[in-house]
């Protein structure tokens, strides 16, 4: 963190009871045992009787992770989770979550409810179609106290978090893009809670985008107020994830940042500290215990300052609760509460009433399934029902008209009417004027000169999600919902400089020779101002001559720079065209869902064009091999239900490499 130096870990005073806690951990659990798990997870055997320790201040921490706007319920196979003894639970839905939260809070003087990130950037249509405002309303009504910013909180921009989500400022057009009427009949007014991140900074001045930490106050039996500090971390690399690609942001080292914040809080007299981080781990499948953990959050948990008393994680969509030793060997909670409203984590802390320090050996943590066998909370059910109705209306609202069907059916050259439409949209998007609310760009907004879109990529997912068939009965109406579902998985269009050589090499990378000797064809759609041909007789890697590629009627110059519009997913080589990865001076434009809807609105009338942008030489000769287009089936859960498209895009992508544990976070 800028301007902050870390200090060496020091042994806390005996008054905090951590030395006693360390001795109990090593003798009670065994010096050879690294991880203590349980149902619930207890720091020591003494914690089993902590409920009667009335001389200490009781504090309840409740958290949910990675809600992603799923207000109605966890999608598909995520709606069933496994607990102790293999017992399975049907979970999800904020109306049920509110009921469970109300029961958990009952009788607790000091209860704090928060999330370690990805609460919005909704993937459920009901929330996403309304700029995630329904999620913010639901969280506010459930009494969320604060939130750590996850990577998906930046799927639009820092301004979206600060100016719109927190302050309620329209972004950009009230009633069309944001600032919708909520379930109470009021226009969106912003969140009743704040967002934090200690390690997400602007590249221009290295200052944090959001406040790095904050202090909550709890009350002792005699009325004295005691502070608890909360440090917040956003996943390292957020600025290079395709959804949250932000050229003007950077993430700092998690451990150094957390240690620096802990030192600052301690210097301010804060003796109880919790780390809420949007990065996670894997620790088994039983949601109420933990086994064989691995992942970046584990690496941090074993090394980060012993002044931190609990570590709450997210991002990896996993469910576990356990105790880990800090660098001094003292146990502290290490937890993650799944995703999509599956689980509520509860950590019970006991604070020394004089020093405010956590009595570590009395700490208890457990995960509670958000089961649907309870009565739905009436207030939250009304919120969910209201937004479901609003979404149904918006889904069928007319935003344009089409004169023919746009289909993904490809000709021999790999060209389709839907692919051509999406490439034209990408070029339109890459030429949009500067948006003042898109405040994490550092390079000039130079209009794009051409566009490429992967319609059947080598790896990963295509942004083309479906067809746009003509609805003759509705006079060719294009509805909001049909446009939204046809294009997008949550990534922005980016314009950037590439060389003609890079463009040529990307076109060559459409073909690969498979292990069995067959040729695979992964076609790229090109915008209407591009024409090129390839030779089906030529070997893989030498099928496209630069002289046969034309941009605005001029042959491609390998030495010249071109301004290209493409999905961030493609430029970052997530779908298998690494030639483009060396792009320069990127400018982030609007996210795909919203951008394609805006394109249809502005175009008003869409008409299919002839499929003549790509031609094949020698296709009719016996030795010719155009290649086979392989369209992978949708990614499915074990029960056969589809994985949400944004999640599938990450899980199947070519980048980044999985963690050394072999796992990859799904978002």
3-state SS record for 248-301: CEEECCHHHHHHHHHHHHHHCCCCCEEEEEECCCECCCCCCCCCCCECHHHHHH
Is 97:345 a contact under the CB 8 Å cutoff?
no
Is 337:31 a contact under the CB 8 Å cutoff?
no
Position 35 confidence tier, pLDDT thresholds 50, 70, 90: very low
Q: Which of 637, 624, 13, 115 is nearest to 357 (CA)?
A: 13
Residue 538 CB neighbours (<10 A)? 17
* Mean pLDDT to the nearest integer, 205-225: 96
Block residue for tokens 């060209």: 415
Would you call 567 helix, strand, or coil by DSSP?
strand
In the predicted model, what is the mean pLDDT of the chain? 92
Give 303-334 pLDDT, tens digit per residue: 999 999 999 999 999 999 999 999 999 999 99
- Largest distance between two CA atoms of the chain: 91
Give the CA radius of gyration of the chain.
27
Buried b / exposed e over 470-491, threshold 16 CB at 10 Å, is: beeeeebbbbbbbbbbbbbbbb
* Mean pLDDT to the nearest integer, 271-285: 96
CA torsion, ordered 367, 311, 648, 514, to nearest 10 deg: -120
E strands present in 598-638? 605-606, 614-617, 628-629
Q: Is the pLDDT of residue 209 over 70?
A: yes
Q: Which of 163, 332, 358, 359 is nearest to 265 (CA)?
A: 358
With a CB cutoff of 8 Å and minimum separation 6, the contacts of 312 are 61, 63, 65, 114, 116, 274, 275, 276, 277, 333, 335, 336, 337, 345, 347
Give 615-659 pLDDT, tens digit per residue: 999 999 999 999 999 988 889 988 888 888 998 999 899 888 788
Give 554-592 pLDDT, tens digit per residue: 999 999 999 999 999 999 999 999 999 999 999 999 999
Q: Which of 209, 304, 297, 211 is nearest to 256 (CA)?
A: 304
Strands 530-535 and 614-617: parallel
Q: Which two tokens stand for residue 568?
A: 């961030």
Quote the pTM value.
0.92
Would you call 615 helix, strand, or coil by DSSP?
strand
Report d(CA 162, CA 137) in Å as an integer: 16
Q: Which residues pair with 335 in a beta bridge?
A: 312, 321
Q: Is the pLDDT of residue 24 over 50?
A: no
* Mean pLDDT to the nearest integer, 588-608: 97
Report d(CA 247, CA 203) in Å as an integer: 8
State residue 660's pLDDT score.
78
Q: Which two tokens stand for residue 70?
A: 């799923």
Position 609 confidence tier, pLDDT thresholds 50, 70, 90: very high
Alpha-carbon distances, residue 127 vs 58, 68, 96, 131, 392 (angstroms): 36, 9, 17, 7, 12
Report d(CA 238, CA 572) in Å as an integer: 13
Position 39 confidence tier, pLDDT thresholds 50, 70, 90: low
49-53, 394-398, 582-586: the lowest-pLDDT one: 49-53
Give 232-251 pLDDT, tens digit per residue: 999 999 999 999 999 999 99
Report d(CA 483, CA 474) in Å as an integer: 15
Q: Which of 380, 593, 341, 591 is nearest to 466 (CA)?
A: 593
Residue 351 or 171, more confident: 351
Quick one: three-class SS letters along 322-357?
EEEECCCCCEEEEEEECCCCCEEEEEEEEECCCCCC
Burial of 90 (0-12, 13-18, 19+ CB in 10 A): middle
Burial of 385 (0-12, 13-18, 19+ CB in 10 A): middle
Q: Which residues pair with 250 in a beta bridge?
A: 201
Report d(CA 259, CA 308) in Å as an integer: 9
* Mean pLDDT to the nearest integer, 489-507: 97
Report d(CA 108, CA 129) in Å as an integer: 37
Instruction: Tell me which DSSP letter residue 636 carries.
Output: B
Would you call 492 helix, strand, or coil by DSSP?
strand
φ, ψ for residue 420, nearest 5 deg: -60, -40
Instruction: Tell me which DSSP letter residue 387 carries.
Output: H
Report d(CA 232, CA 277) in Å as an integer: 6
Instruction: Tell me which DSSP letter residue 643 carries.
Output: P
Would you call 531 helix, strand, or coil by DSSP?
strand
Position 38 confidence tier, pLDDT thresholds 50, 70, 90: very low
With a CB cutoff of 8 Å and minimum separation 6, the contacts of 395 are 125, 129, 479, 480, 481, 484
Residue 541 CB neighbours (<10 A)? 12
CA 238 to chain centre: 9
Q: Which of 99, 101, 149, 156 is nearest to 132 (CA)?
A: 156
* Mean pLDDT to the nearest integer, 445-465: 96
Q: Please name the helix (run of DSSP H) or strand (run of DSSP E) that holds residue 27, with its range, or none.
A: helix 18-28
Give 147-196 pLDDT, tens digit per residue: 999 999 999 999 999 999 999 999 889 999 999 999 999 999 999 999 99
Q: Which residues pair with 166 in a beta bridge?
A: none
Alpha-carbon distances, residue 316 vs 302, 336, 466, 519 (angstroms): 18, 8, 28, 36
* Mean pLDDT to the nearest integer, 497-505: 98
Q: Is the pLDDT of residue 25 over 70?
A: no
Report d(CA 254, CA 663) in Å as an integer: 19
Quick one: three-class SS letters along 139-192?
HHHCCCCEEECCHHHHCCCHHHHHHHHHCCCCCCCECCCECCECCCCCECCCCC
Q: Is the pLDDT of residue 486 over 90?
A: yes
Percent of the chain with pLDDT over 70: 94
């Amino acid at each position: 963190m800028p301007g902050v130096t870390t200090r060496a870990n020091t042994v806390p005073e005996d008054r905090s009871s951590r030395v006693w806690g360390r001795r109990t951990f090593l003798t009670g659990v065994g010096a050879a045992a690294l991880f203590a798990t349980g149902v619930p997870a207890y720091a020591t055997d003494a914690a089993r009787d902590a409920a009667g320790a009335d001389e200490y201040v009781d504090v309840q921490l409740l958290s949910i992770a990675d809600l992603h706007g799923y207000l109605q319920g966890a999608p598909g196979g995520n709606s069933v989770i496994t607990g102790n003894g293999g017992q399975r639970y049907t979970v999800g839905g904020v109306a049920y979550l509110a009921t469970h939260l109300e029961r958990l809070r009952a009788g607790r003087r000091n209860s704090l409810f928060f999330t370690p990130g990805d609460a919005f950037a909704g993937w459920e249509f009901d929330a996403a179609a309304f700029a995630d405002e329904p999620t913010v309303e639901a969280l506010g009504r459930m009494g969320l106290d604060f939130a750590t910013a996850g990577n998906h909180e930046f799927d639009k921009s820092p301004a979206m978090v600060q100016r719109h989500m927190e302050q309620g400022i329209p972004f950009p057009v009230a009633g069309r893009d944001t600032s919708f009427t909520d379930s109470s009949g009021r226009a969106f007014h912003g969140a009743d809670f704040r967002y934090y991140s200690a390690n997400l900074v602007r590249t221009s001045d290295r200052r944090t985008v959001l406040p790095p930490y904050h202090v909550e106050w709890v009350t002792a039996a005699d009325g004295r107020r005691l502070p608890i500090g909360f440090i917040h971390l956003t996943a390292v690399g957020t600025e290079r994830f395709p959804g949250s690609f932000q050229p003007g942001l950077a993430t700092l080292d998690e451990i150094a940042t957390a240690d620096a914040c802990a030192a600052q809080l301690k210097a301010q007299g804060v003796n109880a500290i919790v780390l809420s981080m949007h990065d996670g781990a894997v620790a088994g499948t039983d949601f109420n215990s933990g086994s064989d953990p691995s992942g970046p959050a584990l690496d941090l948990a074993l090394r980060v300052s012993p002044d931190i008393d609990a570590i709450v994680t997210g991002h990896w969509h996993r469910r576990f609760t356990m105790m880990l030793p800090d660098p001094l060997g003292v146990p502290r909670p290490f937890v993650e509460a799944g995703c999509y409203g599956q689980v509520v984590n509860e950590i019970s802390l006991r604070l020394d009433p004089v020093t405010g320090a956590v009595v570590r050996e009395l700490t208890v943590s457990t995960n509670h399934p958000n089961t649907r066998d309870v009565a739905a909370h009436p207030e939250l059910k009304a919120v969910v029902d209201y937004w479901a109705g609003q979404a149904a209306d918006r889904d069928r609202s007319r935003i344009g008209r089409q004169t023919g069907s746009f289909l993904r059916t490809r000709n021999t050259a790999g060209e389709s009417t839907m692919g051509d439409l999406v490439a034209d949209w990408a070029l339109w998007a890459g030429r949009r004027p500067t948006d003042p609310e898109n405040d994490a760009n550092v390079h000039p907004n130079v209009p794009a000169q051409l566009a490429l879109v992967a319609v059947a990529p080598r790896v990963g997912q295509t942004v083309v999600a479906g067809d746009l068939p003509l609805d003759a009965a509705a006079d060719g109406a294009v509805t909001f919902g049909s446009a939204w579902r046809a294009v997008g998985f949550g990534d922005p269009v980016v314009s950037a400089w590439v060389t003609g050589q890079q463009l040529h090499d990307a076109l060559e990378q459409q073909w690969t020779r498979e292990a069995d000797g067959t040729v695979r064809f992964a076609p790229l759609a090109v915008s209407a101002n591009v024409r090129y041909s390839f030779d089906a007789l030529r070997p893989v890697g030498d099928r496209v001559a630069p002289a046969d590629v034309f941009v605005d009627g001029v042959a491609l110059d390998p030495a010249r720079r071109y301004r290209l519009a493409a999905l961030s997913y493609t430029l970052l080589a997530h779908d298998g065209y690494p030639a483009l990865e060396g792009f320069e001076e990127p400018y982030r434009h609007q996210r795909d869902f919203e951008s394609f809807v805006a394109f249809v609105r502005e175009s008003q009338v869409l008409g299919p064009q002839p499929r003549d942008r790509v031609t094949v030489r020698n296709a009719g000769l016996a030795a010719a091999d155009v290649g086979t287009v392989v369209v992978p089936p949708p990614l499915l859960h074990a029960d056969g239900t589809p994985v949400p498209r944004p999640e599938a895009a990450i899980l199947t992508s070519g980048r980044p490499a999985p963690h050394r544990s072999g796992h990859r976070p799904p978002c």
